[in-house]
Amino acid sequence: MKENPDTQARRVQDDLRLNYGPNKKFITICAGTGCRAYGSLKVKDALEAELKKQNMNVEVLATGCFGFCEKGPMLVIHPDKYFYQQVKVEDVPEIVSKTLAKGEVIGRLLYRDPDTKKTLFREEDLPFYKKQLRVVFGRNGMIDPTRIDDYLAIDGYQALGKALSEMTPEGVISEVKKAGLRGRGGGGFHAAFKWEGARRAHGSPKYVIANGDEGDPGAYMDRSLMEGNPHSIIEGMIIGAYAVGAQDGYIYVRNEYPLAVTHLTMAIASAKEAGLLGKNILGTNFSFDIHITKGAGAFVCGESSALFASIEGRAGEPRAKYVHAVEKGLWDKPTALNNVETWANVPLIINRGADWYAAIGTEGSKGTKIFSLVGKINNTGLIEVPMGTTLYEIIYDMGGGIPNGRKFKAVQTGGPSGGCIPESLLDIPVDFDKLYEVGSMMGSGGMIVMDDRSCMVDVARYFLAFLQEESCGKCVPCREGVRRMNNILEDICAGKGREGDVELLEKIATGVADGSLCALGGSAPNPVLSTIKYFREEYEAHIKDHRCPAGVCKALITYSIIPEKCTGCGLCIKVCPTQATSGEKKKAHKINNDKCTRCGACIESCKFEAILVK
Amino acid sequence: MKTTSNIAGKTKEIVKKHGKDKSSMIAVLQDIQEAFNYLPKQALKTAASAMNVPFSRVYEAATFYTAFSLKPRGENIVKICVGTACHVRGAATLQDKFERTLGIKPGETTKDKKFSLETVNCVGACALGPVVLINTEYHGQVTMKKVDKIIEKINNEGAQR
Amino acid sequence: MVNLIVDGKNISTTEGTMLLEAIRGAGISIPTLCAHEAVSRSGACRLCVVEIKKGNRTRIVTSCLYAAEEGLIVDTKSERVLNVRRLVMELLLARCPESEVLQKLSKELCVEPQARFIADSDKGKCVLCRSCVRVCEEVVGVSAIGLFSRGSHKTVGTPYNEKSDACIGCGACVYVCPTGHIEMFTTGDKRKIWGRTFKMKTCDTCGRYFAPVDQLKYISKKTGVPLKELAICMDCR
């Protein structure tokens, strides 16, 4: 008799669970790109060598990203779940001989709460993790992403079994609709409506696509999912394909993410081998295959029609979308395109039910959202919180506030299409609609925190310069309008701003937003409009007083030496590339502003904070 | 030096691997770049005729995507992350420093062909910002002082691949 | 037939007609630079935008690509529409200050050059409407020219700016160019276009130079008509 796909999936899992019993000793070490850059793989190698040397049989799992990137490399020792951070290769012998052999904790490797000064033992005790709800992202840290068995052991592919054995495609769609899952890639469009549209659309074959072209600078949650838990995306896509009636799927991965490509490729191969992908999935007559397409460096390819063009082998130019992608998408066939994180939410909804899912979040935005918390923030990393968590909680409770005692100024959300949110709005609950209301947007979930040393005009200029390069160049308002706005912002930053520039920027912005062909141009003015809205006085300081209050815009600042602080050590003289600094040993030095290029070398070198930027 | 005929030969192999369907174009270009470190004109011409796609369409794709280079690149590629997080942590200052030290602008290669300078819009290692990638190796919290050390080390010992 | 209201006027048109044609058919003028009848449409210039109202939602669409729908309310001169059109004209005037076509069009639309924009000197008269690239691909079928790079660096031309082997010197791109950007010089037995010089063929009947040899060869190859039969100019045929 043929085994029911659901029981088949469960049986495999039960076998696997035996391997990870509650008392089993093993180590999970974060091997996300951030921790790898810190050297986590070297720590892993050292651990394995040391364990072998000491004749201990303890498995070391290189897992996906833990999220707390600030403190890498980090590891967890099971079953006690001791959380060690900033681990170096030199710490390894002690970890093995003390913690693993005798169960003793090494104090210096534990996290110390900077506020309470208390030493904390486990991940869940850390303020960074405490308020999070890590239902999608948390599983990253439990598995080796290169092994399908690990994913199966944490209930992986159970949702697929359930969908194929107990649910009709329509049933899957209505469950996702009831859950209220909205697209995590930017627009916040309801996933189930897309699926329904693609299911109903005429035309064959149909496609499902995962958009992994995470282009927003400062956002890397999709990468961490692709690297750290590729099967969750694949499972979501298979369920989606079943719902839509698609035979083929694509994952479009950003060029800068080679590790994600490797892990996804391995995951697809092992899913095929296990009969979870390919012909007659889990013994049913549903067949579906997934291909990987690597991007080649174009932000605009995050836009659906540009992404299709890129998969089709052409330059990624968007086209006017008066016929929706669910009807005419990839190769003009019905296509359901969702972001990577959206797909990773699907198995959860099927496993735990729409009611469970819809109970998390706000009225209009259900579930959790992963954010990357970066910039001028103490705890840089990835967090997952219920929709509706306030910006304040995110930045202060989890993020630990602003480093070096500086003052918070703004948080930029939504990438180049988003906006800057000022301190007065920190208590807003973060969801799709609220962020839009205050002139920003969710985007893919990047949050870049800025302090009083960040110039908001410079930030607007930065984004417009980015968009000028990334515009595909097809339509006039985006290609020419964004360039002209950028020129004006460059002028303002260079002290050549003119009376009326702010009003002109606003006027161009409206035309660019209304007139552009795709969403890139449509939202391109947001960084400018939101900074004008909340930080107009900074623009005026640049234009009228030729002053950059944050001390960033080089043409508007001068460096000088505070004589009381200068010890005359000569370091700044040594590093200055233009010989602008001078002075005798042990006497206060001087900076010649005609020669100074404000490169910052002296500031970096000065140990006494004797250089004043004004 | 690569001769015209072995550029064409290698390109044909790459096209064969991916298939002639024009949807393979980007993957073919990626492999060509992988093989030669840039996109030689001869390779683009060969790919166009082998895949039966107009040369102008191939050149469109090759010039549209920033990952592709039409000029030979240096032995070591220095990529400065200019993502937002790195920007607010001083990536621009760092870029100036690299430009001064190497004497080239982004997109250029030093005369001795040792270094090419490029910028990248976020490598997703924001905790380490400002970040610089030398070939595939990440350097975090890079300061101006570190820049000198990094360059010096490569000049003396070569870089990790 | 579908019925719609344009600027308060009831009009009806056949299903599938684009708004641009429907509106112009009703005697209302809409400016465009990139919608050429010989080629498919791209929606690049954005001059033909109109504001449409469906239920309570209004939005700006390009009339050249949006098909007429029953009950649609269209405003061709709303403030938003005029704002986009004015911006596009200002931007194009700054890009191609030499273009007489743009100067004339801006007069018609009552748009003055924006003094704050520093005029470009390196873009010629090209507004990147794409018609030349499309005619070369869709009508001529040789795809000798393309659109290279992206964003504000976008240009039109032959790959590497070099003489193209694919070009047949037919001049179709010159014919569809709305601003006269593409230069073609035909003198005696020579035609120069896109940096390449073509040899012209004389008409077997009247002896006038009438077409590049390469173009006739291409037509012969494509249609199977012997080259000899193509050696007579249009006037003598």
- CA A335-A437-B123 angle, to 5 degrees, is 60
Burial of B28 (0-12, 13-18, 19+ CB in 10 A): buried
Give me the CATH topology for the region A558-613: Alpha-Beta Plaits (3.30.70)
CB A380 within 8 A of CB A202: no
**Measured between CB atoms, which of C62, C116, C152 is closest to A479?**
C152
Return the residue of B nearest to A578 by Cα.
B100
CA A164 to CA C79: how far, in whole Å? 53
pLDDT, mean of residues C103-111: 96
Q: Does B85 contact A459 at a Cβ distance shorter than 8 Å? A: no
The pLDDT, as a whole number, for residue A9 is: 52
**Measured between CB atoms, which of C44, C83, C91 is closest to A474?**
C44
Instruction: Tell whether B64 is within 8 A of chain A (Cβ).
Output: yes
ipTM of the complex: 0.95
All residues of chain C having their beta carbon less than 8 Å from the beta carbon of residue A322 are 61, 65-67
pLDDT, mean of residues C75-87: 97
Could you tell me which CATH number the domain at A368-451 has?
Answer: 3.10.20.600
Which of A233, A163, A218, A171 has its CA nearest to residue A196? Answer: A171
Give the tokens for residue C39.
């080629």
Which 3-state string (H, E, C) describes A596-611? CCCCCHHHHHCCCCCE
Return the residue of A nearest to B139 by Cα.
A37
Lowest-confidence segment of A450-454, B101-105, B154-158 by average pLDDT: B154-158
The pLDDT, as a whole number, for residue C213 is: 96
Could you tell me which CATH number the domain at A456-544 has?
Answer: 1.20.1440.230
Q: Does B122 contact A314 at a Cβ distance shorter than 8 Å? A: no
Interface probe with C: pick from B39, B63, B68, most Cβ of C within 10 Å: B63
Distance from CA of A189 to the nearest CA of C (A): 17
Scanning A264-303 for CB atoms below 8 A from B yields 293-299
Give the burial string for C160-188 (b: 16+ CB within 10 Å, else e).
Answer: eeeebebbbbbbbbbebbbbebbebebee
At A324, is the pLDDT very low, low, confident or very high (cuts 50, 70, 90)? confident
Matching residue, tokens 């980015």: A466
Domain boundaries, given as residue ranges, for chain A: 25-78+82-121, 142-358, 368-451, 456-544, 558-613
pLDDT, mean of residues A527-543: 97
Q: Is the pLDDT of residue A278 over 90?
A: yes
Instruction: Tell whether B107 is within 8 A of chain C (Cβ).
Output: no
All residues of chain C having their beta carbon less than 8 Å from the beta carbon of residue B60 are 146-148
In this predicted model, what pLDDT tens digit does every residue of B132-161 receive, in sequence order? 999 988 999 999 989 999 999 888 877 665
Q: Does A605 contact B90 at a Cβ distance shorter than 8 Å? A: no
Tell me what percent of the residues of chain A surpass a pLDDT of 90: 87
Q: Is the pLDDT of residue B111 over 80?
A: yes
Rounded (10°) angle between helices A501-515 and A482-493: 160
Mean pLDDT of chain A: 93
Q: Does A293 contact B93 at a Cβ distance shorter than 8 Å? A: no
Q: Does C159 contact B59 at a Cβ distance shorter than 8 Å? A: yes
Mean pLDDT of chain C: 96
**Which of the listed CATH numbers 3.40.50.11540, 3.90.1150.10, 1.20.1740.10, 3.50.50.60 matches domain A142-358?**
3.40.50.11540
All residues of chain C having their beta carbon less than 8 Å from the beta carbon of residue A474 are 42, 44, 128, 130, 154
CA A207 to CA A327: how far, in whole Å? 11
Scanning A498-537 for CB atoms below 8 A from B yields none
All residues of chain A having their beta carbon less than 8 Å from the beta carbon of residue B68 are 296-297
CA C201 to CA A378: how far, in whole Å? 75
The pLDDT, as a whole number, for residue A443 is: 86
Q: Is the pLDDT of residue A226 over 90?
A: yes
Domain boundaries, given as residue ranges, for chain B: 4-64, 76-157
Q: Does B44 contact C159 at a Cβ distance shorter than 8 Å? A: yes
**Measured between CB atoms, which of B84, B96, B123 is closest to A375?**
B84
Tell me what percent of the residues of chain A surpass a pLDDT of 70: 96
The pLDDT, as a whole number, for residue A6 is: 55
Dmax (CA) of chain B = 51
The pLDDT, as a whole number, for residue A3 is: 52
The pLDDT, as a whole number, for residue C20 is: 97
Return the residue of B nearest to C141 by Cα.
B54
Could you tell me which CATH number the domain at B76-157 has?
Answer: 3.40.30.10
Residue range C2-108 forms a domain whose CATH class is alpha beta
Residue B37, φ and ψ in degrees, nearest 5: 75, -5
CA C133 to CA C154: how far, in whole Å? 13
**Better-predicted residue by pLDDT, A38 or A241:** A241
What architecture is the A25-78+82-121 domain classified under in CATH? Answer: 3-Layer(aba) Sandwich (3.40)
Total CB pairs under 8 A between chain A and C: 105
pLDDT, mean of residues A384-396: 97
Q: Does C142 contact B41 at a Cβ distance shorter than 8 Å? A: no
N residues, chain A:
614
Start-end of CATH 3.10.20.740 domains in chain C: 2-108
Distance from CA of A75 to the nearest CA of B (A): 17
| Angstrom distances, CA of residue C77 to CA of A464, C74, C83 | 30, 9, 9
The pLDDT, as a whole number, for residue A256 is: 86
